[in-house]
Structure 1
Amino acid sequence: MIIRRYLVKQVVSTSLVVVTLLTVIMMGGQLIKRFGQAAMGRIDPSILFSIIGYRLPEFLTLILPLGFFIGLMLVFGRLYVDHEMAVLNGSGVSRIQLARLLIPLTVIYLCVQSVLMIWISPWGLRQYEQLISTQAVKTGFDSVRPREFISAGMYTIYAGSLSEDRKNLKDVFVYKRAEKEGRPDEIILAKEATRIEIANDSASVVDLIQGRRYEIYQNSAKYSQAEFQTWRLRIESDKEAKFDSGEVEALSFGKLLENKNDPVVQSELGWRIFVPFTMIVALMLATALCEVSPRQGRYLKLFPALLIFASLIVALMAIKTRVSKDEVGMWAYLAVLLVYAIAAALFSRKQKLAPKIKKHIQRVRS
């Protein structure tokens, strides 16, 4: 029990430090990217940290398994370097027995990863998509500069001039990209535009005055034209967001089950169900690859081990692509996990197998 508490404390503290460091690095890169978009007028600076917060669970789904694996490698490596493993082995405790003591902790990490992947990460993505769609046009008009084209979501906006309070624009051009294939793009030209503020309404509303509206079909000479005296452009946030097959990462688990016959949905469903079990494979791989001599240092095998664990994640991503193309079934995820688990089990037994194989070879030669 004392050994288990000691190991759990070391693994949790080390893995949390690694996860925090990797999160800061990844989120820092995202924050710099978003600051650049805000400077270009593509998003509202006031929603920067909301965007980062909603995307955080998505990043944690990849960072947490990696942090747990690195934590295991560092803790086991330190046990070898500080001769603690030799003392434990002399007391009759092998590294496989130490790994068994960490099974409850691994199950906890597995449950946390499952909650992140099945519920929290999709919820964050839905909130992120809703936030971006709500702010797209509003941000575009907030950041309009005279005689410059500003892109905001599906819209491109141009104004010849604007008032100091930014509510009245002159010589307005608005281009709206089609949301779905087969639908027309829209071009609106107006002499003037006035922004309308409506209380308790999250929609972005603009009254366009004296202009023309064109509907243009891609790869076709077909178009339609309409003149108007006043045209109200209204964009509402989609609270009940509906996502097509290309946006399944944001679908709730229940909706995935409802459309489980779709190959793309199957790929996402298998990803959420089986990827958390990489925690168990991480424990097995760390147990198999952690052995080092005190002179070598605990970092010697860290990089090769990271490459092996990264190859597991890459293999699962490749399976996700194959399943989405209906080339393999969803159970291919399980096959990949089993292959790595079996390989890890064989590596763990190499100390017992190597002397037997060596004796067998000598016996054959004699």
Structure 2
Amino acid sequence: MVFQKSLTRELTLTALGVFVVLLAIIVSTQAINMLGRAAEGQIANEAITALIGFWTLGFFPVLMILTVFVSVLVVLTRAWRDHEMVVWLSAGLSLRDWIWPIMRFTLPLATLVAGVTLFVGPWADQRSQDYAEIIKRREEISAISPGVFKESSSSTKVYFIESYSGLSGAAANIFMQDMTDGKVSTIFAKRGYITTRKDGERVLVLEDGKRYVGDPGKADYQIGEFKRYTASIGESQSSTGPAGNRQSIPTRMLLGSGNPDYKAELAWRLSMPLSCIVLALLALPLSYYNPRSGHTYNLLFALLAFFVYQNGLTVARNWISQGKTGFWSIALVHALMLLLTMALLKHRNRPQIPFSQSLAQMFGKN
């Protein structure tokens, strides 16, 4: 029908604009946060762009859900405000006839949300952790700078190199102090270079030097000479192994697990596409706008409903994680919101009838 095609086209164009605006706001906010952390030395400068990209992929489902909700709400509110909805209702269409056109717009995006939430999101989170760990190790290696005393990220080692040859990768006149287990180990070497072991561990190889080991403030230092001495300056750069948090765990590992945290994460991931569909349906009755009143209170109610819905899902996820409830708690939140949507839709079909009477008719009471 004509109204279905026009609605789908308008929803698509509006969603594109809303998504771009929300993405720009969120990315700029995260970029400021990342730059602040980089200024404090928590992350490396060269890691900012990659970490923002991984973070955006992980946040994409929530961003898309919000885009769908806002787009449907804005487009239908405009239709009410411009009396276009009144024309369609006068032509014999009810609000229920708008459900399928909205679903034509929502279902592909909900499928996209499901794919990102179940597969892309965990991968992006794990890659973000791996990349941050690799950059951290590179920062440890970059602590060796000619002519500058620099402290390692673990605050247990201090390095100083008088000169460094970029062609051969060798350094001359090296000083290193290691403070581990309450003892101070001071090393002087004439030459040294950085190499990588088979397991990916980066080590500093020192040649022709002396090593002083002892307790600070005491004179019982042990002095030894060496021809070759190896000092670790970074752990293996291979994968760190299992995911560090439940957001990084692949979905296949969550299935059938008895771990409450895994159940909560699986329930949350399955809830993302469902909440996208439910919010799109909820936007239909919440978009009602009375042109005579001149107030857009419906937008405030819609914003309140969105936060109540999301907070309800978060609380249910936390209860599942704590072992207080099962999967049914998060399904109950969806069911309650869907029931509210049906009640509002029943009422908005005949807005002149009081809401209590609409509820009575919905449940078959006279």
What amino acid is the match of 2:288? E
1:132 corresponds to 2:132 = yes
Residues 1:80 and 1:203: Cα distance change in structure 2 (over 3 Å): farther
1:329 corresponds to 2:326 = yes
Which stretch of structure 1 is more off in the superposition, 67-76 or 89-98? 89-98
Alignment partner of 1:339 out of 332, 336, 340: 336
Residues 1:92 and 1:133: Cα distance change in structure 2 (over 3 Å): same
What amino acid is the match of 1:77? T
> Secondary structure of 1:349's match?
helix
State the partner residue of 2:253: 255
What amino acid is the match of 1:48? I
> Per-residue CA shift, 1:198-246, capped at 9, x if unaligned?
59996543347736699xxxxxxxxxxxx996233142223373125xx
1:302 corresponds to 2:307 = no
Unaligned runs of 5+ in 1: 176-184, 215-226, 362-366
Residues 1:86 and 1:248: Cα distance change in structure 2 (over 3 Å): same
> Secondary structure of 1:10's match?
helix
* Deviation, structure 1 residue 54: 1.3
Residues 1:318 and 1:149: Cα distance change in structure 2 (over 3 Å): farther
Residues 1:65 and 1:189: Cα distance change in structure 2 (over 3 Å): farther
> Secondary structure of 1:156's match?
coil
Work out the number of aligned pairs and report it.
Answer: 334
State the partner residue of 2:235: 235
* Deviation, structure 1 residue 157: 5.3
What amino acid is the match of 1:205? V
CA–CA distance in structure 1, aligned partners of residues 32 and 333 of structure 2: 36
State the partner residue of 1:223: none
CA–CA distance in structure 1, aligned partners of residues 359 and 12 of structure 2: 42
RMSD of aligned alpha carbons: 3.4
* Deviation, structure 1 residue 110: 1.2
CA–CA distance in structure 1, aligned partners of residues 129 and 183 of structure 2: 24
* Deviation, structure 1 residue 297: 5.5
> Secondary structure of 1:172's match?
strand
Spell out the pairing of 1:154-173 with structure 2 (5 A cutoff): 155-156=154-155, 158-159=157-158, 161-163=160-162, 165=164, 170-173=175-178
State the partner residue of 1:57: 57
CA–CA distance in structure 1, aligned partners of residues 248 and 21 of structure 2: 26
Residues 1:200 and 1:31: Cα distance change in structure 2 (over 3 Å): farther
CA–CA distance in structure 1, aligned partners of residues 94 and 289 of structure 2: 15
1:278 corresponds to 2:275 = yes
CA–CA distance in structure 1, aligned partners of residues 155 and 358 of structure 2: 75
State the partner residue of 1:179: none
State the partner residue of 2:218: none
* Deviation, structure 1 residue 320: 1.3
State the partner residue of 1:11: 11
> Secondary structure of 1:63's match?
helix
* Deviation, structure 1 residue 334: 0.9
1:70 corresponds to 2:66 = no
What amino acid is the match of 1:283? A
Unaligned runs of 5+ in 2: 216-223, 361-366
CA–CA distance in structure 1, aligned partners of residues 130 and 359 of structure 2: 66
State the partner residue of 1:180: none
Residues 1:213 and 1:322: Cα distance change in structure 2 (over 3 Å): farther
> Per-residue CA shift, 1:68-114, capped at 9, x if unaligned?
11111100100011111111111112222112222122211110110
> Secondary structure of 1:331's match?
helix
Residues 1:278 and 1:83: Cα distance change in structure 2 (over 3 Å): same
> Secondary structure of 1:102's match?
helix
> Per-residue CA shift, 1:249-303, capped at 9, x if unaligned?
1011112226x11111111111111221001211221112110122556854223
Residues 1:66 and 1:93: Cα distance change in structure 2 (over 3 Å): same
> Per-residue CA shift, 1:14-58, capped at 9, x if unaligned?
223222222222221221222233334433322221111111111
What amino acid is the match of 1:52? I
In 2, are the aligned partners of 1:158 and 1:173 still within 8 Å (CA)? yes
What amino acid is the match of 2:95? R
> Per-residue CA shift, 1:168-224, capped at 9, x if unaligned?
66343467xxxxxxxxx898844259551559996543347736699xxxxxxxxxx
What amino acid is the match of 1:102? I
CA–CA distance in structure 2, aligned partners of residues 345 and 56 of structure 1: 34
CA–CA distance in structure 1, aligned partners of residues 184 and 140 of structure 2: 15
In 1, are the aligned partners of 2:320 and 2:326 still within 8 Å (CA)? yes
> Secondary structure of 1:191's match?
strand
Residues 1:48 and 1:243: Cα distance change in structure 2 (over 3 Å): same
1:27 corresponds to 2:23 = no
Residues 1:257 and 1:186: Cα distance change in structure 2 (over 3 Å): farther
Which stretch of structure 1 is more off in the superposition, 191-200 or 301-310? 191-200
CA–CA distance in structure 2, aligned partners of residues 314 and 281 of structure 1: 15
1:191 corresponds to 2:187 = yes
Spell out the pairing of 1:70-219 with structure 2 (5 A cutoff): 70-142=70-142, 146=148, 149=151, 151=153, 155-156=154-155, 158-159=157-158, 161-163=160-162, 165=164, 170-173=175-178, 189-191=185-187, 196-198=194-196, 203-207=201-205, 210=211
